[in-house]
Amino acid sequence: MSQEIKQYILKNGLVLGGIYVALDIIKYVIGAEFFLNNYVSFATLLLAAIFPIYYLIQFKKSKNGLLDFRTAFSICTGILIASGFILLVFNIMLFNIIDSAFASELLDLTINTAVLQFELLGMSDEQISSAIEMIESEANFSPINMLKQFGFTIVGYTLFGLLVAVVTKKNN
């Protein structure tokens, strides 16, 4: 990978990571309910899809419309991984150093929301209890669990990068 591509990935990954951190600060200030808002989650997911595609297309234009698969994949996936890593570091600091009580508040709200949804689906009390135990074990905001979650996120970034690269590549 050329130095130009590495710099492009890093620059745009830092920008997207900064946007993610700013959004999380806004969500933090507004409250835990905003962290779980479906519209906010959808908007964040949309941003994660649109941002790397836009900058990939800009890079492609700068290369006279030619872009091989490897470069397209590297740029799209690299931007997402770089920005995700920045957000990971910020969230580890937020939930473990800055305000660990907020992590507990967020977990409680997640469980309460899930219980309401499970009851609407007609789940039995024992099914709900089992689901709550699973949520509590997976929603731990420890750095190790957050790193594990980031590992799964990288898989999603990679699959998205593959798809985008297939669609946007154009060889000479």
Tens digit of pLDDT for each residue in 8-36?
999 999 999 999 999 999 999 998 888 88
The residues with which 105 forms a beta bridge, in sequence order, are: none
- pLDDT band for position 1 (cuts 50, 70, 90): confident
Average pLDDT, the chain: 91
Which residue pairs from 146-150 have beta carbons closer than 8 angstroms and sit at least 24 positions apart in sequence? 146/88, 146/91, 146/92, 146/95, 147/88, 150/84, 150/85, 150/88
What is the reported pTM?
0.87
Tokens of 107: 């977990």
Give the residue carrying structure tokens 């089992």: 130
Structure tokens at 26: 């806004």
